[in-house]
Amino acid sequence: MSNSAPSDADSATPSFEAEAESSIEDSELAAQIDILVSENKRLRRLLAERQRSRYRDTAIALIGIGIVCGAVGTLVSEAAPVLFALAGTGVFGGVLTYFLTPERFITADIGQRVYEATAQSFNRICADLGLSDRRIYLPVAPDDRNVSKSNSWLFVPQSEETTIPTAAAIDSAFVVEDESRGLTVQPTGSELFTTFEESLVEPLGDSPEALCAQLSDALVEDFELAKSIEYETAPDEGRVSMRFSEILYGNATQFDHPIVSVVAVGLATGLQIPIETTITDTDPLAVTFRWDQSEGN
């Protein structure tokens, strides 16, 4: 009996079948990916529509309350002034809410990814330059804001012994004076603080207690960067301690964390003195803000 060698057709058959199966699997995987992408887009559209619907429902409710108050005011003359005032407020608030409903919603995850990329870049810069871990926020005097184009600067000194420059002396991102060496950048919270300051119906506080109250309310109610904030002020010690629960951007150890930045910029601007930050805990986030009392008001 002789053994015959397998023909080329026989040897090619398993390979062909394997390639066919692989091609089918790749096609099925691509189809599943397309389905998931489509479903993801559909869910995003649905979420955005629900959020817009919530705004519109609120607007309709406010307008309805305004109309009811106006109608009751025409029947009850004794309470007419109050009811008409409520009617005007309700209708105005409803119309404003309806027409200012945002068309696009940016998820917190997108904002966090953008911030983390920037923070990691600055961390690398600080590491390459051999800078210290100190973070000091320098206030810009109101008269100098048009020149500096900022309300504050974040200064990262080269060492613990580095002399802290004044905001007016900063004219470059890299400070290379003999006694003052380090990096200066516009804080993450600078523009947020500007928005907060423009929305105030009262003057910006000039004491740690007043500033903490204003900033805490803005961070929780307006910016929604934290669920709640507890703070302790010790002006005689040049210190403010804050504890934040359920912060929006979870990694508080990154460079110039937004919630820390807003508070530091606010304290520096309100007190017009440099503020140094120290993160004492991360779960929940706890931060100490300090200043040199000799420079205080």
Task: State which amino acid sits at residue 122.
Answer: F
Q: Are residues 279 and 168 in the same domain?
A: yes
Q: Are residues 69 and 186 in the same domain?
A: no
Q: Tokens 């007016």 identify what position?
A: 168
What is the side-by-side order of every strand in the sheet holding 181-185?
174-176, 181-185, 152-157, 135-139, 275-282, 285-290, 239-245, 228-234
Q: Are residues 230 and 297 in the same domain?
A: yes
Q: Tell me: the pLDDT tens digits for 194-247?
A: 989 988 888 999 899 999 999 999 999 888 888 999 999 999 999 999 999 988
Q: Tell me: the pLDDT tens digits for 121-157?
A: 999 999 999 999 999 999 988 777 666 667 899 999 9
Q: Are residues 228 and 281 in the same domain?
A: yes
Q: Are residues 282 and 239 in the same domain?
A: yes
Q: Are residues 34 and 175 in the same domain?
A: no
Q: Are residues 91 and 135 in the same domain?
A: no
pTM of the model: 0.65
Backbone angles phi, psi at 243, to 5 degrees: -125, 125
Average pLDDT rounded to a whole number, residues 165-180: 84
* Domain annotation covers residue 84: yes
Backbone angles phi, psi at 281, to 5 degrees: -160, 155
- Top pLDDT among 16 and 200 is at 200
Backbone angles phi, psi at 177, to 5 degrees: -65, 160
Boundaries of domain holding 74: 9-99
* Domain annotation covers residue 225: yes
**Which of 73, 99, 125 corresponds to the end of one domain?**
99
* Domain annotation covers residue 57: yes
Q: Are residues 165 and 293 in the same domain?
A: yes
pLDDT tier for residue 289 given thresholds of 50, 70 and 90: very high
Among 71-75, 92-96, 237-241, where is mean pLDDT lowest?
92-96
High-pLDDT (> 70) share of the chain, %? 79
Is 83:69 a contact under the CB 8 Å cutoff?
Answer: yes
Q: Are residues 43 and 113 in the same domain?
A: no
**Which of 37, 71, 99 corresponds to the end of one domain?**
99
What is the crossing angle of helices 80-99 and 8-75, to 10°?
Answer: 160
CA distance 140 to 234: 24
**Which of 50, 73, 99 corresponds to the end of one domain?**
99
* Domain annotation covers residue 2: no
Average pLDDT rounded to a whole number, residues 260-269: 95
Total structural domains within the chain = 2
Domain harbouring 211, CATH code: 3.30.1380
Q: Are residues 94 and 121 in the same domain?
A: no
Q: Tell me: the pLDDT tens digits for 30-72?
A: 778 878 777 766 766 666 666 666 667 777 887 888 888 888 8
